[in-house]
Chains A and B, each alone.
Chain A
Amino acid sequence: MVGQAVGRWRIYSVILASVARAMLPLLLVFSLFLLWRGHNEPGGGFTGGLVAAAGFALYAMAFQPRSVRRVIRVDLRTLMGAGLLCAAAAGVIGMAQNKPFMTGVWISWQGPEGIAVEIGTPFLFDVGVYLVVFSVTLSIILSKAEER
């Protein structure tokens, strides 16, 4: 494939590049949205993580894989560990209240005009799932893409 240098990165297709650049933030926001509402509506950590990874995969195809690593900044393996840690922490929090491992703990906040926000350890767990799925999927894609 013949690429041309645009700015800092070599790109292969101008259309793909602009689509990818526009889609990445959209997909990321969408994935976070899926993660957040996952407990009550379709979505969740698995789906959210996959969508985010797909966004970056698109970006990696449009630009060079290295650019993706530059955008993410954090080592993907660190993210994997962080995800596992989140999930484990979600399990341990319940133990602090002398309940068995993995017992859900919830706090709720009653806002004005009937707005109620509930957040609990299962959400933290889902964040862990999100991080692991995202980082595993993306590191698989990137490691293959980088070989070109």
Chain B
Amino acid sequence: MVWLLALAIGALYAGGLYMMLRKTMVKLLIGLAMIGNAANLLIFTSSGIVRSKAPLVPKGAKTVEPPFADPLTQALILTAIVIGFAVLAFALALVRRTYEAVGSGGLEDMTEE
């Protein structure tokens, strides 16, 4: 599974970066979202992966028997997902304002010469 995840993460990073290198502001945002997903997956994978065993203590037990997925990384990523959404919304608002001010969706038009 880790091989597949490595492929997926690599693809998301590559796709995200490619999108960010384009000249359109909306593509930049899509690339940003992709790289966010990639980073979350990378953190998730680096804590070690376990198939379909959630970190839930079963009824009647005091603790959960290994192997189980690392709960700490999940907690970290959970907040990262929500914050990522807020960041994306903020970037979207910025792009929209810039578009209004500059009148163009091209990133190159925004640099001052």
Q: Name A's B-contacting residues (CB within 8 A).
A: 40-42, 46, 50, 133, 136-137, 140, 144
Cβ-defined contact, A42 with B82, below 8 A: no
Task: Return the 7 tightest CB-CB contacts between A and B, nearest first.
Answer: A140-B89, A46-B82, A46-B78, A133-B82, A136-B86, A42-B54, A41-B56
Interface size on B, residues (CB 8 A): 10
What is the CA–CA distance of A88 and B79 in the complex, to the nearest angstrom?
A: 18
Tell me which residues from 70 to 107 in chain B have a Cβ below 8 Å from any Cβ of chain A. 78-79, 82, 85-86, 89, 92-93
Cβ-defined contact, A46 with B86, below 8 A: no
Cβ-defined contact, B56 with A140, below 8 A: no
Cβ-defined contact, A42 with B79, below 8 A: no
Cβ-defined contact, B86 with A140, below 8 A: yes
Cβ-defined contact, B56 with A42, below 8 A: yes
Residues of A within 8 A of B93 (CB): 144
Residues of B within 8 A of A144 (CB): 89, 92-93
- Least Cβ–Cβ distance between B25 and chain A, in angstroms: 16
Residues of A within 8 A of B82 (CB): 46, 50, 133
Which residue of chain A has the shortest Cβ distance to B59 in the bound complex? A40
- Least Cβ–Cβ distance between A88 and chain B, in angstroms: 18
Known A40-B56, A42-B54, A42-B56; further 6 A-B contacts with Cβ < 8 A: A41-B56, A46-B82, A50-B82, A133-B82, A137-B85, A144-B89
- Least Cβ–Cβ distance between A144 and chain B, in angstroms: 8
What is the CA–CA distance of A84 and B113 in the complex, to the nearest angstrom?
A: 44
Residues of B within 8 A of A46 (CB): 78-79, 82
Convert B42-80 into 0s and 1s, putting 1 for each residue whose CB lies closer than 8 angstroms to a CB of A.
Answer: 000000000000101000000000000000000000110
What is the CA–CA distance of A38 and B86 in the complex, to the nearest angstrom?
A: 22
Which residue of chain B has the shortest Cβ distance to A42 in the bound complex? B54
- Least Cβ–Cβ distance between A141 and chain B, in angstroms: 8
- Least Cβ–Cβ distance between B66 and chain A, in angstroms: 19
Residues of A within 8 A of B79 (CB): 46
Interface centre among B78, B82, B86 (most CB of A within 10 A): B82
